[in-house]
């Protein structure tokens, strides 16, 4: 999932420079993320993973790092999977 | 004897706020007595700020254990409203200062300057807007530079601030900057520096339509400081958790206070006209009341909605941010309408700059509301943030 997230990040000018190399724990807000980019990234990630994150998860912490994004998306994808099975 | 604008009646007392009521009402009266002169001279409301300082109300947002008055957000909003009944500029200066204080006590309680700021009742100015980034709070051009032989000790910063409210009258400055010169524009920190650490050069004037006493020209600031004066949390977190919610809500408190004062002047004049027989009530009075009630309700709801973030450390969400932006835009428009309608009711007495039923200064002051973090910018931001809404609000 992380590689897919990195690939989506590369589409955004504020993040394209760091998307490939930044560590999964590094702070994306310090690396160029801003609120508008976070919204656009969210919409693309939701499309990519065919899921929708709930309002309560849409915080700065969720967008803090590739690791935190992976966690939030995985939880949602897993939940969807378990509902489907 | 004819009453002038400077003469003020005592306001109805909030029983539950008895602990600070007298002090705030004293400051409000001092502010009201000087409001016309402050406005005409575009001068700092020194008398009101001195009165606030004397009663330790400059440390209103500071916890009691740290020497402050320990007011919560709803109390701070109430104080902002009451002060604005006397003078919009004095109230806005106080409100802006409380925003910096809240950032400090919530995000850097160990700040080496904080005990002094509380003890000496500093007035702290905010230096966020900047040449090159304009009013974008979350973007900085200037960066912190290390100046000491060993990194991590002393630093310096040169910032061209575009609108530094009460910059010449502050004892401290909360300045935003890039974490270092090469950092991304959004990778910001905030640092509290004292007046004596800053070489302050005024580079512009302040001769505005309203809020003239906030004295907010442009300044160049050249400052050197210790690294431990930098707030440890990234500024983006401070903005999301404290500065933005406090700003929108406290500014709204000031604007609602101004609108209330205009409305009360319209009520007073309508009552006077109705003495001695037929009641003469202008329909705009009821419309103004309707708008004012809407603004008040909106503000009360916003204070309640933001409590989980402020008191329980909940993470602000995209939707809570959008709601705060909507609060600011909505109230800044409503208060303008309340004051405009109040002037309609008052007629020439309201249009006049003098007299107890003048609404002129208040009307000029509330024209600042849509501009402080421009509504256009907030609406553009919200139009994007709203794309994430999931339909449960």
CATH number of B221's domain: 2.40.110.10
Answer whether residue B306 is part of any domain: yes
Please give the Cα distance from B172 to B229 (Å, whole number): 12
Least CB-CB distance to A43: which of B186, B387, B390?
Answer: B387
Contact B122, B172 (CB under 8 A): yes
In a shared domain, residues B212 and B259: no
In a shared domain, residues B40 and B69: yes
Please report the pLDDT score of residue B224 as a whole number. Answer: 96
ipTM tops the 0.90 cut? no
Q: Supply the pTM of this predicted model.
A: 0.92
In a shared domain, residues B293 and B313: yes
In a shared domain, residues B309 and B377: yes
Structural domains of chain A, ranges and CATH numbers in brackets: 2-84 (1.10.1200.10)
Please report the pLDDT score of residue B17 as a whole number. Answer: 56
Answer whether residue B10 is part of any domain: no
CATH number of B289's domain: 1.20.140.10
Q: Which of B101, B119, B137 is the last residue of a domain?
A: B119
B170: helix, strand or coil: coil
Number of domains in chain B: 3
CA distances from B59 to A57, B81, B87, B255, B307 (A): 35, 17, 20, 21, 20
Q: Which of B119, B139, B166 is the last residue of a domain?
A: B119
Answer whether residue B6 is part of any domain: no
| CB spacing of B183 vs A54 below 8 angstroms | no
Answer whether residue B299 is part of any domain: yes
In a shared domain, residues B223 and B246: no
Residues of A whose CB is below 8 A from B385: 35, 39
**Which site among A28, A42, A55, A63 would you substitute to test the B interface, given the most B Cβ atoms closer than 10 Å to its Cβ?**
A55
CA distances from A25 to B161, B318, B377 (A): 34, 22, 32
Residues 6 or more apart whose Cβ sits within 8 Å of residue B60: B20, B68, B69, B71, B75, B76, B79, B98, B101
CATH number of B43's domain: 1.10.540.10
Please give the Cα distance from B392 to B319 (Å, whole number): 10
Residue with tokens 């310096």: B156
- Higher pLDDT: A82 or A43? It is A43
Rounded CA Rg of chain A? 12
DSSP H helices in chain B: 18-41, 46-54, 73-86, 88-107, 114-119, 235-238, 244-274, 283-312, 318-346, 348-351, 360-366, 375-385
Mean pLDDT, consecutive 10-residue segments, chain B of 393 residues?
53 65 95 98 98 97 94 95 98 98 96 96 96 87 82 86 96 96 92 97 97 97 96 95 96 98 97 82 94 97 91 88 95 98 97 97 98 92 88 60
pLDDT at A24 over 50: yes
Contact A5, A42 (CB under 8 A): no
Q: Show the tokens assigned to B252.
A: 């709204």
Answer whether residue B87 is part of any domain: yes
Q: Which of residues 321-360 of B touch A (CB under 8 A)?
A: 321
Please give the Cα distance from B337 to B285 (Å, whole number): 11
B172: helix, strand or coil: strand
Interface membership of B233 toward A (CB under 8 Å): no
CA B167-B171-B175 angle, to 5 degrees, is: 60
Q: Which of B198, B229, B260 is the last residue of a domain?
A: B229
- Residue A85: pLDDT band with limits 50, 70, 90: low
In a shared domain, residues B295 and B355: yes
Q: How far is A36 from chain B (nearest CA, A)?
A: 7
DSSP H helices in chain A: 2-9, 13-19, 35-49, 66-84
To which H or E segment does residue B202 belong? Answer: strand B198-202
Q: Which residue of B has its CA nearest to A39?
A: B385
In a shared domain, residues B377 and B287: yes
Q: Give the distance, in angstroms, between the CA of residue B59 and the centroid of all CA atoms in the same chain.
A: 15
In a shared domain, residues B55 and B198: no
Least CB-CB distance to A39: which of B234, B384, B393?
Answer: B384
Residue B112 DSSP code = T
Answer whether residue B137 is part of any domain: yes
- Residue A8: pLDDT band with limits 50, 70, 90: very high
Three state DSSP letters for B125-145? EEECCECCCECCCCCCCCECE
Interface membership of B319 toward A (CB under 8 Å): yes
Q: Show the tokens assigned to A52.
A: 């929708």
Residues of A whose CB is below 8 A from B233: none
In a shared domain, residues B257 and B215: no
Answer whether residue B393 is part of any domain: no
Please give the Cα distance from B96 to B108 (Å, whole number): 18
Range B34-54 burial, b when 16+ CB lie within 10 A, else e: bbbebbeebbbbebbbebbbe
**Domain containing B328: what range?**
235-388
Answer whether residue B250 is part of any domain: yes
| CB spacing of A56 vs B317 below 8 angstroms | yes
Please give the Cα distance from B207 to B215 (Å, whole number): 8
Interface membership of B388 toward A (CB under 8 Å): yes
Q: How far is B232 from chain A (nearest CA, A)?
A: 14
- Chain A residues with CB under 8 Å of a chain B CB are 27, 29-36, 38-40, 42-43, 52, 54-61
Please give the Cα distance from B288 to B85 (Å, whole number): 16
Q: Which of residues 123-182 of B touch A (CB under 8 A)?
A: 138-139, 179
In a shared domain, residues B158 and B21: no
In a shared domain, residues B256 and B187: no
Contact B37, B115 (CB under 8 A): no
In a shared domain, residues B303 and B371: yes
**Which site among B314, B318, B381 would you substitute to test the A interface, given the most A Cβ atoms closer than 10 Å to its Cβ?**
B318
B352: helix, strand or coil: coil
């Amino acid at each position: 999932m992380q590689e897919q997230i990195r690939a989506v990040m590369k589409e955004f000018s504020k993040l394209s420079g760091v998307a490939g190399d930044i560590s999964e724990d590094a702070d994306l807000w310090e690396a160029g993320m801003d609120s508008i980019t976070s919204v656009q990234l969210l919409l693309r990630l939701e499309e990519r993973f065919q899921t929708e994150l709930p309002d309560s998860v849409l915080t700065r912490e969720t967008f803090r790092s590739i690791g935190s994004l992976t966690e939030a998306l995985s939880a949602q994808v897993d939940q969807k999977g378990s509902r489907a099975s | 004897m004819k009453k002038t604008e400077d003469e003020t009646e005592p306001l109805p007392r909030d029983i539950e706020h008895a602990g600070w009521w007298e002090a705030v009402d004293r400051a409000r009266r001092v502010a009201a007595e000087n409001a016309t002169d402050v406005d005409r001279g575009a001068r700092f409301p020194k008398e009101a700020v001195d009165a606030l300082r004397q009663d330790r109300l400059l440390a209103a947002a500071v916890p009691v254990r740290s020497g402050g008055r320990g007011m919560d957000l709803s109390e701070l909003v109430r104080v902002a409203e009451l002060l604005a009944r006397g003078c919009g500029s004095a109230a806005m200066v106080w409100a802006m200062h409380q925003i910096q204080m809240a950032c400090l006590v919530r995000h850097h309680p160990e700040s080496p300057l904080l005990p002094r700021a509380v003890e000496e009742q500093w007035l702290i100015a905010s230096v966020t807007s900047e040449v090159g980034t304009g009013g974008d709070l979350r973007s900085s051009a200037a960066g912190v530079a290390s100046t000491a032989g060993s990194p991590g000790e002393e630093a310096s910063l040169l910032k061209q601030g575009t609108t530094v409210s009460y910059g010449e009258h502050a004892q401290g400055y909360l300045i935003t900057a890039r974490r270092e010169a090469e950092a991304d524009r959004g990778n910001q920190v905030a640092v509290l520096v004292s007046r004596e650490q800053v070489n302050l050069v005024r580079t512009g004037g302040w001769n505005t339509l309203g809020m003239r006493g906030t004295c907010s020209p442009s300044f160049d600031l050249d400052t050197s400081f210790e690294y431990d004066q930098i707030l440890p949390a990234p500024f983006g977190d401070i903005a999301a958790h404290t500065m933005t919610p406090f700003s929108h809500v406290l500014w709204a408190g000031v604007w609602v206070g101004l609108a209330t004062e205009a409305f009360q002047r319209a009520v007073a004049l309508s009552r006077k006209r109705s003495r001695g027989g037929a009641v003469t009530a202008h329909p705009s009075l009821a419309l103004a009341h309707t708008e004012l009630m809407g603004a008040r309700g909106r503000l009360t709801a916003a204070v309640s909605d933001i409590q989980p973030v402020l008191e329980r450390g909940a993470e602000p969400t995209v939707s809570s941010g959008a709601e705060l932006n909507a609060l600011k835009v909505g109230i800044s428009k409503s208060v303008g309408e309340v004051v405009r309608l109040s002037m309609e009711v008052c007629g020439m007495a309201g249009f006049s700059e003098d007299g107890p039923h003048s609404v002129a200064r208040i009307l000029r002051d509330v024209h600042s509301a849509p501009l402080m973090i421009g509504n256009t910018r907030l609406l553009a931001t919200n139009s994007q943030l709203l794309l994430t809404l999931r339909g449960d609000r």
